[in-house]
Amino acid sequence: MKPIKFYCLTSLLFFFTANTTFAQPIISSNSAPELGTNIKISIVDPAPLGNLVLPAGEDIIWDFSASSVIATRIATFVDAEDTDVSIFFPNADIALSYDGGGLPLGSFNLKHDFFALFADSILNVGFTTQSGNVINYNNPRTTFNLPFTFGDVIEDDFKVSFEIGNSTVVEEGTIHIEADAYGKVLLPNAEVEDLLRVKTVRNYYQAFENNVLDTIFYEEERLAWYAADQIYPVLSVTTEMVSTNPLPQTRIYFTGEVETNIEEYLSLAAIEAYPNPSSGAFQLQYDLLQAADIQLNVYNSMGQLLQIAEDGLQYAGSQTAFIDLTGRAKGMYFVEMILNNTERIVHKLMVQ
């Protein structure tokens, strides 16, 4: 196959430098996420900003104040064991779970992102999509070596294989991570100083195991701005080139606010299933401290959505729902409760 070349488009997004001197942030093990932290993610329309060239260096000010937000998502850091697909990620310590339709990433919507936390590094071990795909990296991707600061560089590789229908897809590539800038970002409703910018370049391919002629090549560049006390970026700009598409795709997200007191959202006091195990019929009981929009999703052990048992407003007090898995294969199932698109709790069900 003739090699495919990629050409990055370059044009100017307004920026300026100033005499102000900013601190050089250091991302350390103290920046590890706290369970229960909610992040509000704003999805930005990239069209009004044009093609992006954003300078590297010291004491830079990047101006995104004219950004237009087209959608928002709530992401929550949860214990990996509490997710509906934890059995596929035994090495994960923490997961970032997205509400609603998930976070748009190219051709799929991200549902969970899984990480392994170490004293000297953070590894991305895999993810799941809203459509039910489970991607577990055979060779995890490095997110950071810790501590990580201006001028630091990481070279790494990664590999994964996963199933789509009856076919096995192999994804393999290299990754270059560099802290290439620090400074200040201007957002529509905020100015955030002392941010470390991390540039990540991934070159990789995807191929069906038995048909190399269908190989797809990717080149992805992601610029992400981090505060010293959190590992989720304040702002990210991702440009992706794909061999099947002559035009680059750009995604821009920023976190307009970060909320660490999840108790403000709690409306659930208790949840139980009876009998459990059972032959397939379960009665779910839970108490609401206040009225809430409730959705109950039932998944199999592969993370595939089987049914939506409840969906709508429910009032404070004791509630009952019925889940019927009669006729399903024996084994473990999961019921996921989502309250007000912010709180998420998973309960295991066993069919015997």
pLDDT (tens digit, 9 = 90+) per residue, 317-340?
A: 778 889 999 988 888 787 878 777
320 shares its domain with 229: no
Nearest to 185 by CA among 133, 238, 141, 223: 223
- 211 pLDDT tier (thresholds 50, 70, 90): low
Domain count, the chain: 2
Mean pLDDT of the chain: 80
Alpha helices (H) along 61-178: none
Residue 96 DSSP class: E
CATH number of the domain residue 306 falls in: 2.60.40.1930
223 shares its domain with 300: no
pLDDT surpassing 50 at residue 264: no
Of 211, 226, 259, the residue that ends a domain is 259
192 shares its domain with 212: yes
Nearest to 97 by CA among 272, 303, 245, 300: 303
pLDDT surpassing 90 at residue 223: yes
Indicate whether 38 belongs to any domain: yes
Indicate whether 340 belongs to any domain: yes
Rounded to the nearest 5 percent, the helix, strand and coil shares of the chain are: 5, 65, 35
Q: Per the confidence metrics, is the pTM higher than 0.85?
A: no
Count of C-beta atoms within a 10 Å radius of residue 99: 20
Of 259, 290, 306, the residue that ends a domain is 259
**Beta carbons of 261 and 342 less than 8 angstroms apart:** no
Q: What range defines the domain where residue 342 resides?
A: 266-351
Indicate whether 7 belongs to any domain: no
Of 205, 225, 259, the residue that ends a domain is 259
Indicate whether 2 belongs to any domain: no
Nearest to 177 by CA among 194, 195, 204, 157: 157
Indicate whether 5 belongs to any domain: no
- Please state whether beta strands 108-118 and 103-105 pair in parallel, antiparallel, or not at all (unpaired): antiparallel
